[in-house]
């Protein structure tokens, strides 16, 4: 059942049918009603490919994230998908993995689908500061507007929405020092833009509070509870009275470590996670965590995208403040 059939049945031309489908104002209400009725009766559905061919767009946005099975990204993707649908856009999803070359391939592949815009979820796409590490994104931005969630790249055509990881980390570590903590462990699992921002906040806070920056207190480990616990157990001579982690999983690892060592939380060691995930309330004692308000990030990104797609100017960088969720692993 195609547009010709409908046109024939309705006794009009295909142009008219097309106009009805697109709700063009220059069709009389009467014909509209007639044609619509015929369409209903025959369960007519316009062929998206044919339409795509003509318009060179299918109202589809590409979403790439390293791994949707990650809690944070899953939440973001869920929100983005739902939100984009309300605007009539479909989502095609690619999970790129974390490897540079895989990310490049994913972007290249998804662009071939003639998406209307590209959404990159996770600061992993922001590169390492070197311009070459984000060249593939700059290239993509020449074809479609690119929206980066939780990362920043300065580049024409890429729009970034990020949570203020630096500030919240600075504030949190400062609060810890003010509460008398002297040896604050920083746990991180990636060299991404946001991880770097967190570390910068951590170091600046120490510096401004006259505490030394000790490299042995900055530990890089996978974001897995048991990995972190065992890593800490394996480090010998490592002493700390507080932990800030760049993800809840790592913070829970620290809690597990404390338990094994017979350290009490928060008395002996304050522990703070990041992302305010379900793990935080699962943890015992419940984990204080930083909420990066990913829904707000996503909402902002979608809003920006809709603006951009309709030709309006959009700011290249929007910063969303984070907030601290106090639970029972901290006492300040």
Q: Which residues of this protein are in contact with DNA, per CB under 7 A?
A: 2-4, 11-16, 18-19, 21-22, 25-28, 30-31, 46-47, 50-51, 53-56
Binding mask 250-289 for its own copies (x = CB under 8 A): --x---x--x------------------xx-xxxx-----
Which CB atom, from 19 or from 181, has the smaller least distance to DNA? 19
- Cβ 39 to DNA shortest distance, Å: 10
Subset of 66-85 contacting its own copies (CB under 8 A): 67-71, 74-75, 77-79, 81-82, 85
Alpha-carbon gap, residue 195 to 3, rounded angstroms: 53
Peptide bond into 120 cis (omega under 30): no
> Which entry of DNA, its own copies, none binds 235, CB below 5 to 8 A by partner kind?
none
SS3 263: coil
Under the criterion CB under 8 A, does residue 325 sit at the interface with its own copies?
A: no
**86 touches its own copies by CB under 8 A:** no
Edge-to-edge strands, sheet with 218-220: 218-220, 184-188, 242-245, 270-274, 288-291, 323-325
| 239 or 278: CB nearest its own copies | 278
Q: Interface mask (CB under 8 A) for its own copies, residues 110-149, using x and -? A: --xxx-----------------------------------
Spell out the residues 6+ positions from residue 117 whose beta carbon is closer than 8 angstroms to its own.
61, 62, 144, 145, 146, 147, 305, 308, 309
CB of 214 to its own copies, least distance (A): 28
93 binds its own copies (CB under 8 A): yes
> CB 170 → its own copies: shortest distance, Å?
28
**Is residue 179 classed exposed, middle or buried when 0-12, 13-18 and 19+ CB atoms within 10 A define those classes?**
middle
Q: How far is the CB of 57 from its own copies (least distance, A)?
A: 9
Q: Smaller CB distance to its own copies: residue 18 or 177? A: 18
Does residue number 52 form part of the binding site for its own copies (CB under 8 A)?
A: yes
Residue 78 interacts with, from its own copies, DNA, none (CB under 5-8 Å by kind): its own copies
12's CB contacts (< 8 A; 6+ apart) are: 31, 34, 35
Contact 55, 18 (CB under 8 A): no
Q: Nearest 5°: phi and psi at 258?
A: -60, -45
b/e burial code for range 89-126 (CB count within 10 A of at least 16 → b): bebeebbbeeeeeebbebbeebbeeebbbbbbbbbbbb
Cα of 44 vs its chain's centroid, Å: 37
What distances in angstroms separate CA 131 from CA 11, 136, 153, 190, 273, one per listed residue? 60, 10, 9, 19, 31
Using DSSP, state whether 231 is helix, strand or coil.
Answer: helix
**From the CB of 46, what's the least distance to DNA, in Å?**
4
Q: Which does 112 bind (CB under 5 to 8 A by kind): DNA, its own copies, none?
A: its own copies
Number of residues that bind its own copies (CB under 8 A): 45
Q: Report the residue number, 22 or 99, with the smaller CB distance to DNA.
A: 22
Pairwise CA distance, residues 121 & 91, whole Å = 13
Q: Please report how close the Cβ of residue 253 comes to its own copies at its closest, in angstroms.
A: 9
The size of the chain, in residues, is: 332
> How far, in whole angstroms, is CA 103 from its chain's centroid?
15
Residue ranges binding its own copies (CB under 8 A): 45, 47-50, 52-53, 56, 58, 60, 63, 67-71, 74-75, 77-79, 81-82, 85, 90-95, 112-114, 225-226, 249, 252, 256, 259, 278-279, 281-284
């Amino acid at each position: 059942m195609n547009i010709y059939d409908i046109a024939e049945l309705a006794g009009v031309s295909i142009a008219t049918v097309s106009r009805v489908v697109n709700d063009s104002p220059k069709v009389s209400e009467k014909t509209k009603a007639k044609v619509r009725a015929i369409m209903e009766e025959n369960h007519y559905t316009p062929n998206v490919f044919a339409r795509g061919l003509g318009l060179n767009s299918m109202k589809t946005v590409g979403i790439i994230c390293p791994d949707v099975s990650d809690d944070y990204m899953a939440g973001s993707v869920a929100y983005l998908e739902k939100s984009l649908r309300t605007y009539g856009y479909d989502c095609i999803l690619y999970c790129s993995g974390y490897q540079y070359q895989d990310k490049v391939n994913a972007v290249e592949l998804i662009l071939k689908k003639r998406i209307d815009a590209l959404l990159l979820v996770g600061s992993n796409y922001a590169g390492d500061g070197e311009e070459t590490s984000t060249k593939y994104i700059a290239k993509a931005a020449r074809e479609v507007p690119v929206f980066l969630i939780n990362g920043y790249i300065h580049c024409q055509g890429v729009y970034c929405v990020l949570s203020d990881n630096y500030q919240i980390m600075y504030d949190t570590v400062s609060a810890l020092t003010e509460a008398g903590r002297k040896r604050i462990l920083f746990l991180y699992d990636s060299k991404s833009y946001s991880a770097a921002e967190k570390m910068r906040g951590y170091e600046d806070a120490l510096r401004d509070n006259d505490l030394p920056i000790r490299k042995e207190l900055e530990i890089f480990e996978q974001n897995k509870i048991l990995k972190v616990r065992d890593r800490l157990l394996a480090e010998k001579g490592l002493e700390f009275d507080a932990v800030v982690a760049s993800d809840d999983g790592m913070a829970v690892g620290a809690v597990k470590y404390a338990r094994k060592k017979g350290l009490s939380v928060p008395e002996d060691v304050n522990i703070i996670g990041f992302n305010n995930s379900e793990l935080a309330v699962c943890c015992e004692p419940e984990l204080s965590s930083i909420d990066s308000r990913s829904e707000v990030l996503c909402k902002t990104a979608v809003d920006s995208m809709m603006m951009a797609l309709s030709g309006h100017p959009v700011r290249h960088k929007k910063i969303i403040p984070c907030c601290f969720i106090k639970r029972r692993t901290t006492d300040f």
